[in-house]
Amino acid sequence: MTELNPFVAIRRELHLIPEIGLEEYKTHDYLLNKINALPQEHLEIKTWKTAIVVRVKGSEGEKTIGWRTDIDGLPVSEETDLPFKSTHEGRMHACGHDMHMSIALGLLTHFSQHPGKNDLVILFQPAEENECGGKLVYDHGLLDEWMPQEFYALHVQPELPVGTIGTRAGTLFAGTCRIKADFTGKSGHAAYPHESNDMIVAASQFVSQLQTIVSRSVNPVEGAVITIGTFNAGTTENIISGNASLTGTIRTLTPEMSEHMIERVQQVAAGIEASYQCKIELSLVQGGYLPVVNAEKETTEFIEFMNHHSAVDLVISPTAMIGEDFGYLLNKVPGTMFWLGVDSPYGLHHPKMSPKEEAIPFAIQQVGAFLEMKLAK
């Protein structure tokens, strides 16, 4: 029987205990136990809430290279038949952050025993999915004393085969803005609609009109997306609902397009208020989910390095409309994010998403080699 790779085993243990952002208490304790079990001679550790940052001190420490991994799960009920499926009801590592953490622990394990000339900082960051943990950690100052001069991170990609790494210089992922809208009208009996003010109708029109923003208010050669993900209204079949609420997201590739989209959503809401004589409490929150913009110099160097390794199939990836709060850190520190192929028939955030675990030792080896090069310079 083939012995299980220790970092694959770690991934399975983490997969059992997914937790929502800023509530990753078991995950935090698990990671700290693994980190504290490593040789400590070259390590320094700091924590804040559920975040952990570890510095591996180099022999000279003239420069600091950063590696970031996210640690939170999603509010998804797992539908796999894995023997290590989530034990937390309604929670799942459906975005692959369990893979990310096991790779980071593999890198840390290696460099704790084989430090380079320069310092390495590994950030185990909470709340990527829901609270822009990258911004929280940065703004709190957790990285201040150990601020990297370059920052790197990966994200698993189910659509790419194991052995493939994909990235590009410039914008890799979109910036995002949350939409929340609460509608207030007047409820009443279904038989007397003229005495009521139906918020299901008003909110439905709002959703329909939002879909025309991209098709009629955005240059076709530019990118933008509006998606409404939740719509809640009503209590029973014979009562006209006087309230409705919805949430959604805007995805754009530039700050200018984000401002344009926000302005158009506000205009649509004002029009619905006037047309349906209702009140809409509209919240549009950009937070720190900025576009992930890979620095030209660092990304070119990364691509050239990976292209010289026969085990790696390096592809230039198209820009994707997903959001990632690593964009906030790349707005402060130059660096690169890239896709890691994990070859799953189910995509990110799907309840059956099951990445191939061979990607873990592959990533530890290839990323480890790249970081060794950076730490030796």
Q: Which of 98, 128, 129, 343 is catalytic?
A: 129
The residue-averaged pLDDT of 261-282 equals: 98
Q: Which pLDDT tens digit goes with each residue over 48-62?
A: 999 999 999 999 999
Looking at residue 95, its pLDDT comes to: 98
Both structure tokens of 183? 């509608």
Burial class (CB in 10 A: 0-12, 13-18, 19+), 209: middle
Looking at residue 255, its pLDDT comes to: 85
Q: Which pLDDT tens digit goes with each residue over 324-341?
A: 999 999 999 999 999 999
129 is catalytic: yes
Pairwise CA distance, residues 21 & 133, whole Å:
8
What are phi and psi for residue 170, nearest 5 degrees?
90, -155
Q: How confident is the model at residue 288 (pLDDT cuts 50, 70, 90)?
A: confident
Pairwise CA distance, residues 172 & 242, whole Å:
42
Looking at residue 1, its pLDDT comes to: 53
Burial class (CB in 10 A: 0-12, 13-18, 19+), 88: middle
Looking at residue 367, its pLDDT comes to: 98
Does 34 have pLDDT greater than 60? yes
Pairwise CA distance, residues 197 & 203, whole Å:
11
Does 92 have pLDDT greater than 80? yes
Across all residues in the chain, what is the average pLDDT? Answer: 97
Q: Which pLDDT tens digit goes with each residue over 173-190?
A: 999 999 999 999 999 999
Pairwise CA distance, residues 30 & 87, whole Å:
15
46, 120 Cβ separation under 8 angstroms: no
Buried b (16+ CB within 10 A) or exposed e, 127-155: bbbbbbbbbbbbeeebbeebebbbbbbbb
The residue-averaged pLDDT of 155-181 equals: 97
Q: CA dihedral in degrees (120, 310, 338, 227; nearest 10)?
A: -160
More confident residue, 225 or 223: 225
Pairwise CA distance, residues 280 & 264, whole Å:
15
Angle at Cα 127 formed by Cα 125 and Cα 128, nearest 5°? 80
Looking at residue 56, its pLDDT comes to: 98
Q: Quick one: which H or E segment has residue 70?
A: strand 64-70
Looking at residue 278, its pLDDT comes to: 98
More confident residue, 165 or 223: 165
Helices 255-276 & 199-217 angle (0-180, nearest 10): 140
Q: How confident is the model at residue 375 (pLDDT cuts 50, 70, 90)?
A: very high
108, 53 Cβ separation under 8 angstroms: no
Does 144 have pLDDT greater than 60? yes
Q: Which of 70, 98, 298, 357 is catalytic?
A: 70
Looking at residue 76, its pLDDT comes to: 98
Q: Which pLDDT tens digit goes with each residue over 353-364?
A: 999 999 999 999
Looking at residue 3, its pLDDT comes to: 84
Domains of the chain: 6-169+295-376 (3.40.630.10), 174-285 (3.30.70.360)
Q: Tell which residue, 155, 144, 166, has the closest CA to residue 66.
A: 144
Pairwise CA distance, residues 179 & 157, whole Å:
26
